[in-house]
Amino acid sequence: MDRVPVTVLTGYLGAGKTTLLNRILTEEHGKRYAVVVNEFGEIGIDNDLVVETDEEVFEMNNGCICCTVRGDLIRILSGLMRRKGKFDAILIETTGLADPAPVAQTFFVDEDVQAKAKLDAVVTVVDARHIEQRLADSKEAREQIAFADVILLNKTDLADEADLARIEGRIRSINKAAEIHRTEQCGIDLAKVLDRGAFDLDRILEFEPSFLEVGHEHNHEDISSISFTDVEPLDEQLFNRWISQVLQTKGADILRSKGILSFKDQDDQFVFQGVHMLMDGDYRKPWAPDDPRISRLVFIGRNLDVPALQAGFEACRAF
């Protein structure tokens, strides 16, 4: 029986995974994909940032795919296998905090999944600006590189040649086998990412002999997520002033921030993205007539001052 190929898109918070996913869903390649998107926070943002597509998108929120909601992944995959023929392959976008090992393990130790699906490749997106900091403080960042079959060294416009050469050396010291491609905005020939048949179980067992042993100890106790919503329109200037001040003063601890916002007197959604002190935002598309204009903002990081962040967000309401 032909098994459905599965590509796992991983990479630390803010590296560019959703950008790569959107490229796959919008470029011509003649394939139909089922998509599984996992978010750490209780409020989903990434699902709304995935381009509108005919492909089916399954959202898994409020937990990490490698631990708390791993059972949900198995149930989604099992459900998809019963609808074989509706799609050609499956894409899984993990949270930025995911250890890819237990996700990959699912395709070798769950009998039902193993019989009908095969892991094609683990594709890891790396943020050239922040990866060295992440390698110093995050086991997950190292695991994401170690398990990769293909690595996109992304945001190369934010680093110079000396930085990139040093970073590639760090990556090679962790994973000698993966293909490395330098990218901006995850711009890459998708033939270098999809249908690679690249996942090599023997290579994984060389550096992690316990890979196939069931049981996964993993937690994110030092990292938390807080989400805010508001049905009142926000004042754009007040928000920009507040979020700039927050990220300049607390950005070292705020690993990721993102939101979809409703500003007063604006008909379009404003999409905000932040990684540490770097932030970006733009108007995306009009609010749909039946879509409630609810602003959603998510912070993921360490030592989050929830009362102060909530008070600051609420103070951005327009009157």
Q: Are strands 57-60 and 150-154 parallel, antiparallel or unpaired?
A: unpaired
pLDDT of 211 strictly over 60: yes
Q: What is the pLDDT of residues 248-300, one digit of tens each?
A: 999 999 999 999 999 999 999 999 999 999 999 999 889 988 888 999 999 99
Question: Which of 61-70, 201-210, 237-246 bottoms out in mean pLDDT, i.e. has the lowest?
Answer: 61-70
Q: What value does the mean pLDDT take over residues 7-25?
A: 93
pLDDT band at 52, cuts 50/70/90? low
Average pLDDT over every residue of 86-112:
88
Q: Residue 307 above 60 pLDDT?
A: yes
Domains annotated for the chain, with CATH where assigned, are 4-198 (3.40.50.300), 226-315 (3.30.1220.10)
Q: What is the pLDDT of residues 108-133, one digit of tens each?
A: 888 888 888 999 999 999 999 999 99
